[in-house]
Chain A
Amino acid sequence: MKVRIHVSLKNGVLDPQGRAIHHALDGMGFAGISDVRAGRLIELEVDHTVTDEALDAMCRNLLANMVIENYRIERVA
C-alpha cells in the first residue's frame, strides 16, 4: 500500500522558496497568482501492519518539523 505524506509550512511562516517561485512565475508572464507556498511530498510503500499511529509518529518525529510544518497523511489504495 502506498502512503503519501504531504508536508507544508504552517501559516505565518515565511516561505522564501515559495516567494522565489512566485517571482519566477511572474517573470515568465503567468498572471493572477496571489501566493505560492512550497511543500514536500513523501511517498511510503508500507504493508498492512503499519498503523495510523505509527504513520503519525513518523511524521511528528522525523518527516515534519512541528515547529514550522504541518503534515497530512493520505493512504492511497
Chain B
Amino acid sequence: MAFTAAVITFPGSNCDRDLAVAIEQVCGGTVHRVWHGDAALPAGLDFIALPGGFSYGDYLRSGAMAARSPVMRAVIDEAARGVAVLGVCNGFQVLTEAGLLPGALMRNAGIRFVCREVPLRVENNQSLFTARYGAGQRIVIPVAHHDGNFFADEETLDRIEGEGRVAFRYDEPVNGSQRGIAGVLNAGGNVLGMMPHPERMIEAAQGGSDGRALFESVLAGLNVAA
C-alpha cells in the first residue's frame, strides 16, 4: 500500500498547500486535500494533517469553530483507530479544542504576534513523529502565531511530562507556554500538535531542513511504501 495522507482545509486555513507539498515531497504517495465540510475522509489513510492558518477568523477562540466542523468527527474516529494525526499551529489549536490533545493555546504572554525562527529541543525522540531526530537534538523551526501560549493545569503538565508526551520544547522564551512546551503528543502517541511549522523547513531553499525528519519519522514509523 502506498502512503496515503489527507490535509484538511478549513475556511481560513493558509498553510494547507505548504503542508501538502511537504508531505508529498518527503513521504511521497498520495496526499488528498479534504474540505472541512466533508463528513467522510478518504478510505485507507495513514496520516491526517491539520494545517496552520486562521480558521473561521479565530472567532470565539482559535480553533474552536473548526474543531466542531463535520470533518472533525471523522478525524476523531480515525485518531481513535490509531491513524497518525498532526496539527500544526492552528491545527494544534483545533486538536486541543477537539479534545484530542490536552491543554489550551492562549494569547501569547507578550501579546504580540510572534513570527520568527525559534530553537527547539526534541524532548522525546521515541515517538512516531520524532524517531528520526536525536535525543535532545536542537533544531530550528519557524513559528507564526498569536495564540501559542500552551496552558494546562499543574497536574496535567506533570502527567504529560511523566508520560514523555512533550515532543518539543522551546529552547528560549517565545510565547509564555507553560514549561516551554511547543509540541504535545496524545496518550496513544499517534496524535501530535505543535505550534512551530515543520513544513516550512524541509529543504535548504527554505533556509533549513530541520522539519524534514518529522515527516521522515512518520513515513518510517508507519512502515508503508512511499
Tally of chain A residues near chain B (CB < 8 A): 11
A65 to chain B, nearest CB (A): 6
A65 to B94, CA, bound (A): 12
CB-based contact A65/B110 at 8 Å:
no
CB-based contact B68/A67 at 8 Å:
no
Complex interface bits, A11-27 against B, C-beta within 8 A gives 1, otherwise 0? 00110110010000000
| Chain B residues near A16 (CB-CB < 8 A) | 106-111, 149, 176
| Chain A residues near B103 (CB-CB < 8 A) | 67
In the complex, which residue of chain B has the Cβ closest to the Cβ of A42? Answer: B60
Complex interface bits, B92-124 against A, C-beta within 8 A gives 1, otherwise 0? 000011000011101111110000000000000
A54 at the interface (CB under 8 A from B): no
Instruction: Find residues 27-66 in chain A having any chain B CB closer than 8 Å to their own CB.
Output: 61-63, 65
Please classify the interface of chain B as helix (H, G, I), strand (E, B), loop, or mixed, using the class held by over half of its residues.
Answer: loop
CB-based contact B111/A17 at 8 Å:
yes
B40 at the interface (CB under 8 A from A): no
In the complex, which residue of chain A has the Cβ closest to the Cβ of B156? Answer: A67
| Chain A residues near B106 (CB-CB < 8 A) | 13-14, 16, 68
Q: Which of A17, A20, A68 contacts B104 (CB 8 A)?
A: A68
Q: Count A/B pairs, Cβ under 8 Å.
A: 36
| Chain B residues near A13 (CB-CB < 8 A) | 106, 151
Complex interface bits, B132-156 against A, C-beta within 8 A gives 1, otherwise 0? 0000000000000000010110000
A9 to chain B, nearest CB (A): 9
Name the residue in A17, A20, A61, A62 with the highest tally of chain B Cβ atoms < 10 Å from its Cβ. A62
Instruction: Find residues 77-98 in chain B having any chain A CB closer than 8 Å to their own CB.
Output: 96-97
Name the residue in B149, B151, B176 with the highest tally of chain A Cβ atoms < 10 Å from its Cβ. B151
Please give 10 more A-B residue pairs, beta carbons under 8 A apart, in addition to A14-B149, A16-B110.
A16-B107, A16-B108, A16-B176, A17-B111, A62-B68, A63-B60, A65-B61, A67-B102, A67-B104, A68-B106
Top 10 nearest A-B pairs (CB, nearest first) are A67-B104, A16-B107, A68-B104, A20-B111, A16-B111, A16-B109, A65-B104, A65-B61, A17-B107, A68-B151
- Sampled A-B contacts (27; CB under 8 Å): A13-B106, A14-B106, A14-B109, A14-B149, A14-B176, A16-B106, A16-B107, A16-B108, A16-B109, A16-B110, A16-B111, A16-B149, A17-B107, A20-B111, A61-B68, A62-B60, A62-B64, A62-B68, A65-B61, A65-B64, A65-B97, A65-B104, A67-B96, A67-B102, A67-B104, A67-B151, A68-B104
- A interface list, Cβ under 8 A from B: 13-14, 16-17, 20, 61-63, 65, 67-68
- B interface list, Cβ under 8 A from A: 60-61, 64, 68, 96-97, 102-104, 106-111, 149, 151-152, 176
